[in-house]
Structure 1
Amino acid sequence: MNPADSRHHTDPFSSQRLRPGAEAEAVAQRAADLLRNCNAVLQLSADEALRVVAHMQLVNFPRGATLLREGDDSKLDHLLLLLEGEVSVDTSAGALAGPLEISVLGPGSIIGEMALLDGAPRSASCTTLSPVQAAVLSRNALEGLIDQHPRVAATLLLGLGVRTAERLRALGEHLQIYAKLVEDLQAENQRLRGLR
């Protein structure tokens, strides 16, 4: 599994497990805190967040690395929790002049969860704007979490589902705004044509 574009980053999984007690203890605690505080919808306790983090791997990406590619249907087996750095999320859907930046995400943001949950191709591309440190939860690790801590896994999955629903709701609101804008522009265009 390699979520990074190999042209930009040769081995993103020369990583370490985020297990408390190891040299990554401080990073593991930070990841757990970000899971709880930046993603309150996940509703994980401190202990549950540490259990999730114990199944994650720490990876580092340089600036300019492609973490996820829109339309990719081959690398759907992981999500990333951003620990440090910023990532641009963009899409080419409906964009006439190249990719359209949707947002810039930072520490505490989770990316890639939709494809992990439903196996559908990636809905957007994510590119690092700075060096990025992230914790990766693979599908295999998620299955291990389900086997070892089913209640924690259920809480995590429910929270990810709620996050996805909230984002879809917000997208629907944005689409209504864009539809109104298009309607207004079309009316103005008709008005200007009538002036000729």
Structure 2
Amino acid sequence: MLRRNKTPMESRDESPESQFFTTGFHDVDDATVPVVHWAERAKAIGARKLARPAPVKRLKELWSRDRFMAGLSPDDLEKCARHFEFYAVDANKDLIAQNEYGGFMLVVLHGAVAVDRQQPWGERLRLTEVRAGNVLGEMSLLDAGPRWSYCTTLNPCEVAVLEAGALDAMIEQDPGSAARLVGSLARRLSLRLRKLGASSQTP
């Protein structure tokens, strides 16, 4: 399990799984690498928190039509949505920065986001553009690795945010729903990596 060393008292009071995603970043090679949390990013880009329930309804609608989320029941969707926060973001703002260690993932609710890979000479290469329903940053949330690309809003957007601590809380409070969510994210990632691998192979 990836976590800092705890005192005997902490070990008795806390279940082994309760801080898995929050503390997963302590295993990076360079312990001084900062983890970028959403609160910092939201402040830096001027993101504005949205009041429920409209964005909650939007998230559930999008995921109910998403084939990767087909394993989530309406009850699962309701429980998952409780652990998300919702924000409005202006155009031309970096939601995610390449190579950072990030402790959150995003779901695009409205608007469009560019996914760019910065090249060694400084130019950003456009990989794709994503819209409502797409998930961003889930790989780093799940494996504690660095971000692969920049994700930049192309127009005013609304996003749902799931932080590592909120995912830990979901695992404690709604373990079945959390397991199905993580499984759904893993399937999405698997397909993405397979497509990337196929596109990189020469005929």
- Normalising by structure 2, report the TM-score: 0.75
Task: Say if 2:169 is the partner of 1:144.
Answer: yes
5 Å matches for 1:167-186? 167-176=192-201, 179-180=202-203
Give the one of 119, 127, 134 matched to 1:102. 127
Secondary structure of 1:2's partner?
Answer: helix
Q: Deviations 1:3-45 (Å, cap 9, x if unpaired)?
A: 3582xx23x3x525xxxxxx6223211111212213x212211
1:1-196 correspondence to structure 2 within 5 Å: 1-4=39-42, 6=44, 9-10=45-46, 12=47, 14-16=48-50, 24-38=52-66, 40-42=67-69, 43-73=71-101, 76-93=102-119, 98-176=123-201, 179-180=202-203
Gaps of 5+ in 1: 17-22, 181-196
Q: Give the RMSD, CA atoms, in angstroms.
A: 1.8
Q: Is the 8 A contact 1:4 1:66 kept in 2?
A: no
1:151, distance to aligned residue in structure 2 (A)? 0.4
Aligned residues: 164
Q: List structure 1 runs of 4+ shifted beyond 6 angstroms.
A: none
Query: Equivalent residue of 2:83, what SS?
Result: coil
CA distance in 1, matches of 2:193, 2:43: 27
Tell me if structure 2 keeps the 8 A contact 1:5–1:67. Answer: no
- Which has the higher Rg, Structure 1 or Structure 2? 1
Query: What is the TM-score of this pair, normalised by structure 1?
Result: 0.78
Residues in 2 aligned to 1:145 and 1:117: alpha-carbon distance in whole angstroms: 14
Say whether the 8 Å CA contact 1:4–1:68 is kept in structure 2: no
Q: Which runs of 5+ in 2 are unaligned?
A: 1-38
Identity of aligned residues (%): 30
Whole-Å Cα distance in 1 between the matches of residues 96 and 122 of structure 2? 21
